A and B are shown apart, each in its own frame.
Chain A
Amino acid sequence: MLGKGIIKGLAETARNFFGSFVSERRLTTVPYPDARQPLAENTRQFPFLVYDGDDWEQGLRCVACQICEKECPPQCIYIVKSKDKKPDYKGQMQFYPAVFDIDLAVCMSCQICVEVCPFESIKMDTEFELSTADRFGGLLFHKKQLAKPNAHYHRIHPTDAAASDAVLAAEKAKQEAKARAAAEAKAKAAAPAPVAPPPSAS
C-alpha cells in the first residue's frame, strides 16, 4: 500500500532521533575543541626532524643527504648542506643541514621522505592545528620549527620510535664495534706481532 515505505523510513529516523538521547552509537559527534578524537598511532600529518638529546641543533639526526629532497613528490623540501661538519649521534663527523625548509603549504603528507630516509631523521608529526592567516610566514617551516625531540616522537608514535631507536642503537653498536675493531687493529698493528688476539675479535 502506498505509504508503507515512507512510514518505515519515518520509523527509522524517529529511532535515530530518540536514540540520540540515550545511545552513544546514535550520537557520534566528537565535539572537537572540547573533546578530541584520539589519533591512531600511525596518523601522519607533516614531517618533522628528530633530534636526540637536549640541544636541537646539535642533536639533529639529519645529515643533509638530500635524498628526501629529491624523492619528495611535490618538491616541498629545501635543504642546503652545511659547509662544515659536526659530530652526529655516533660521534661521526657529518654534514648537517644549514637550511632545512619544508613548505607545509605544499606538503602532501605522503610519508615518502620518511620511507626513503636512511638516517631515521625525518618522521611524521600529528599536529594539524596549523591554520593561519599568514601564508608565507606561517606555513614555511624552518629547521628550528621542524626540529622536535625524540621524546616527542616517542609520544606520538611509540612503536615506530622504539623501532627506529633500535635501528639506530644497532647501527651505533655496529659502528662502535667497527671502531673498536679498527682501533684494536690499529693497536695490533702498532703492537709487537706475537700477541694473542683479543677475545672480541673472534
Chain B
Amino acid sequence: MFPRRLSVFILRQTLAAYFGGLGFYMTDALDQIFVTTKQFLVAFLAGLFPPAWQPLATLLISAVVMVAAIIGVFATLFAITTVLERKGLGRMQNRHGPNRVGIPFTQIRLAGFGQPAADGIKALIKEDVVPVAADKVVHFLAPVVMVVPVILAYAVLPVGRNMVALDLDAGVLFFFAVGGAVELAVFMAGWSSRNKYALLGAMRAIAQMISYEIPLILAAVPVIMIARSLSTTGIIAAQAGQAGFLPAWFVFTPWGFAGFVLFMIAATAESNRSPFDLPEGESELVAGYFTEYSGFKFALFFLAEYLGLFVISGLAITLFLGGWHAPFPWLAWLPSWFWFFVKLLGLIFVFIWLRGTLPRLRLDQLMNFAWKFLLPLTLINLLTVAVWHYLSASGWRWAVCVLMVIVPYVALGRGLWGHRRVRKRVYRYAE
C-alpha cells in the first residue's frame, strides 16, 4: 500500500511542479478558451454598435452567442448520441449498429456517423400528417412547447469553469420549474391527436412524470442543504477540493450516493427512458403520445427527449458528481468542460446500458415504485443529511448514515410489490 501511495504522491508532485510552472498558463487558456472566445466575439460585435447602445448590445450579443453555442453543442451531441445509442445497443446485442452511412456525395462511411444527417434530412422532407379529428393548433404547438422548456433549462447548466449562461440564485428551482412544462407538452401532444393510443400514452406520461418529479426534487434537496445554495455554480463550488483521497463530490457520501441513485432513477423516469419508457411503450401503446406525429414534429419530440436527458444528466453531474471538477488535482490540467462532457457521456452510456438490459415496468408498479419506494427514501435521505450535518466528522458519522441509507432501502424493497412475493421459484419435475 505504502509504496503505491508514495508513487502517486511523487507523480502528483511532479505533475504539479510541471503544470505549476509553464503549464499553468496553457491549461488555463485551454480551460477558458470558450470564455475568451466569447468575450472576444462579443467585444468585437458590440464594437460595431454606436456607443450609446453598447451595454445593451453587449448583453444581447453575449446572450445570443451563448445560446447559439449551447444549442449548437447539444444539438450536435444529440446527433452523435443517437448514433452512439444505436451502435452501443448494437454492441450489446452482438452486432455493429449503423456503420454504413457517412458523408454525402462521397463513399466515406465515417463509421455510420452520417446517420443522423440522413435521418434529419428525411425528417425535414417527410410529409406532415395531421389527423382530421385532431385539435390542430394544440397539435402544432405541442412539439414546440416540448422543446422550449428543455432548452431553457440549459440556461443554468454550468458546462465548465465560468461557463454558465445564467447564474441564477434560484438556479435549481428554475430548473425544476421549467421542467414541469414538459408534462404539459406531452399532454398537449397526446390529447390533441385524438388517438386512443396517444391519449393513453399521454395520461401515462403525466402520471409518471408527476410521480417522479417529487422524488427528483427531494433527492436534490440534501445537496442544497449541504451546499447552502440553489445556484448551480454555488453547488459546484461546494464540491471543490478533496475529502481524503476521494474528490469532495457529494456522491462520495452515504446520503450523496443514495441521493445520486435516487436522482438518477427519477431522472430516468422523467426523461421517459427505459425501463420507464411507458408513455411511448411500443409493445403496448404503439408509439404512445406521439403516435400521430410525423416528419420534423416527431423529430422534435425525439430531440426534446434527448436534450432533456442531457440537461437532467448535467444537473445530476452538477449536484452529485462535482460538476466540471476534475476527479483528482493532478488531472486538473485537462480543461473543465472536458470533464463535464466526459461525465455526461458516462451518464449517457449508463442510460444506454439500462435500455439495453431492462424490460419495462408496468404502470401500477411504476407508480408504486415512485410513491412507495422512492419518495420515502428521499424523505429519509433528508433526515440522513441532517444527521450527517449535526454529527461531527468521524467514522461514526459514516456508520450511522450508511445504516440510515441501507436499512430503509432493504425494508422498502421488501415491501415494494405488496403481498405478492416476487422471488425466484423452484420447479418440480415429473418423470
Contact = CB atoms under 8 A, between A and B. Distances in A.
Whether the complex brings A and B within 8 Å at their CB atoms is answered: yes
Interface of A: 1-3, 6, 9-10, 12-14, 16-17, 20-21, 26-29, 31
B416 A10 contact: no
B94 to A, nearest CB: 5
Interface string B262-303: 000000000000000000000000000000000000000000
Interface string B230-254: 0000000000000000000000000
Given A1-B410, A1-B413, A29-B96, A10 B91 contact: no
B88 A17 contact: yes
Given A1-B410, A2-B416, A10-B353, A28 B358 contact: no
A17 B96 CA distance: 11
Given A2-B416, A9-B358, A27 B95 contact: yes
Interface string B79-95: 00000000010011111
Judged by DSSP, the binding face of B is helix
A1 B410 CA distance: 7
B92 A13 contact: yes
Interface residues of B, number: 17
Interface in B44-92: 88, 91-92
Given A1-B413, A10-B357, A27 B92 contact: no
Contacts of A21: 91
Cβ-closest 6 pairs across A and B:
A2-B413, A20-B91, A13-B357, A13-B92, A29-B95, A17-B92
Contact of B91 (A6, A12, A16, A31): A16
Per DSSP, chain A at the interface is: helix
9 contacts: A1-B410, A2-B409, A9-B357, A12-B357, A14-B92, A17-B91, A17-B353, A27-B95, A28-B95
B283 to A, nearest CB: 18
Contacts of B413: 1-3
Given A13-B92, A14-B353, 20 more contacts: A2-B413, A2-B414, A2-B416, A9-B358, A10-B353, A10-B354, A13-B357, A14-B92, A16-B92, A16-B93, A17-B91, A17-B92, A20-B91, A20-B92, A21-B91, A27-B91, A27-B94, A27-B96, A28-B94, A29-B95
B356 A13 contact: yes
Interface of B: 88, 91-96, 353-354, 356-358, 409-410, 413-414, 416
Question: Which of B88, B92, B358, B410 gathers the greatest number of chain A CB atoms within 10 Å?
Answer: B92
A98 to B, nearest CB: 47
A16 B94 contact: yes
B357 A31 contact: no
Contacts of B95: 20, 27-29
User: Which of A2, A9, A10, A14 gathers most chain B CB within 10 Å?
Assistant: A2
A1 B93 CA distance: 27
A14 B88 CA distance: 10
Contacts of B414: 2
Contacts of A12: 357
Nearest to B413: A2
Contact of B96 (A1, A14, A16, A31): A31
B319 to A, nearest CB: 22
B361 to A, nearest CB: 11
A67 B49 CA distance: 92
B87 to A, nearest CB: 10
A113 B133 CA distance: 55
B220 to A, nearest CB: 22
Contacts of A31: 96
Nearest to B95: A29
Contacts of B88: 17
Contact of A20 (B94, B354, B358, B409): B94
Contacts of B353: 10, 13-14, 17
A11 to B, nearest CB: 9
A27 B94 CA distance: 4
Nearest to B410: A1
A156 to B, nearest CB: 28
A17 to B, nearest CB: 5
A67 to B, nearest CB: 45
Nearest to B373: A2
A116 B84 CA distance: 54
A45 B382 CA distance: 68
Nearest to B261: A3
Contacts of A10: 353-354, 357
Nearest to B88: A17
A21 to B, nearest CB: 7
A13 B355 CA distance: 10
Contacts of B92: 13-14, 16-17, 20
A6 B353 CA distance: 11
Contacts of A1: 410, 413
Which of A10, A17, A21, A29 has the largest number of chain B CB atoms within 10 A? Answer: A17
A14 B356 CA distance: 9
Contact of A29 (B94, B354, B356): B94
A165 to B, nearest CB: 42
B354 A26 contact: no
A28 B92 CA distance: 11
A33 to B, nearest CB: 9
A13 B93 CA distance: 8
A79 B88 CA distance: 54
A2 B358 CA distance: 14
A91 B311 CA distance: 83
A133 B88 CA distance: 35
Nearest to A14: B353
Q: Max chain A CB contacts within 10 Å: which of B93, B358, B413? A: B93
A1 B409 CA distance: 9
